[in-house]
Amino acid sequence: MSDPQPERPKAPELSGVDLARQALVAAKEQARARGAAAQQKKQARRGGLRSGARADGRDPLPLGAAINRLITERGWETPAAVGGVMGRWPQLVGPEVAQHCEPQKYDEDARVLTVQCDSTAWATQLRLLAPTLVARLNGDLGHGTVKVIKVLGPGGPARRYGALRAPGSKGPGDTYG
């Protein structure tokens, strides 16, 4: 007991006009291929590409366009955009915050922006502003460019090593550590 196969609709038979259209398309493709091959042969005989009236990839570019092309080809869009943020920091966070907090570095793999503050009070303030600032930076740079802002407080004084030290002490590191 085998089930009879349902009849498949057959492809419509091509009429004379449709056959002529298909033949025309095929002839055009073959002509393009022959023309491209002939052009390549001709250029090879002449010793390569020659300068002409039309623009090609060898023409000089304005400096800004050349730099943009280089950034795109190398995949440096994100680092370049973050570098622009470092230059425009006062416009993004405001002059008062920018006076006390300065961006230090950006880790592209972890998408973390590190910011150094000049006092612990400003570090605390920036930690509270971090979610708003991340949203503002991602709106400017593109979604997901900055995931976290790492806020650093002020550094302690430089460690001095000398004769007047308690044994086992880390110096100022004991206090600021």
81-127 tens-digit pLDDT: 777 777 888 888 888 988 999 888 888 888 888 999 998 899 999 99
What per-residue confidence (pLDDT) applies to 131? 92
pTM: 0.51
Phi and psi of 19, rounded to 5°?
A: -65, -40
Predicted pLDDT of residue 150: 92
Q: Is 30 domain-assigned?
A: no
Q: Is residue 103 part of a domain?
A: yes
Q: Helices marked H in 15-172 — which ranges? A: 16-46, 63-74, 77-87, 89-93, 95-100, 120-141
In a domain, 45, yes or no: no
Number of domains present in the structure of the chain: 1
Token pair belonging to 93: 């966070």
pLDDT for position 18: 77
pLDDT at 46: 66
The verdict on residue 31 lying in a domain is no
* 71 belongs to a structural domain: no
Task: Please name which of 148, 110, 145 lies closest in space to residue 130, comparing C-alpha atoms.
Answer: 148
Has residue 44 been placed in a domain? Answer: no
Is residue 110 in some structural domain? yes
Q: What is the residue range of 142's domain?
A: 99-154
User: Is the residue at 62 inside a domain?
Assistant: no
By C-alpha distance, which of 132, 115, 122, 124 is closest to 97?
Answer: 122
> CA neighbours within 13 Å on the CB side: how many for 175?
7
Mean pLDDT, consecutive 10-residue stretches, the chain (177 aa), reads 57 70 85 79 67 74 87 81 79 87 86 89 91 87 84 74 66 55
> Which pLDDT score is estimated for 177?
46
Specify the pLDDT at position 80: 77
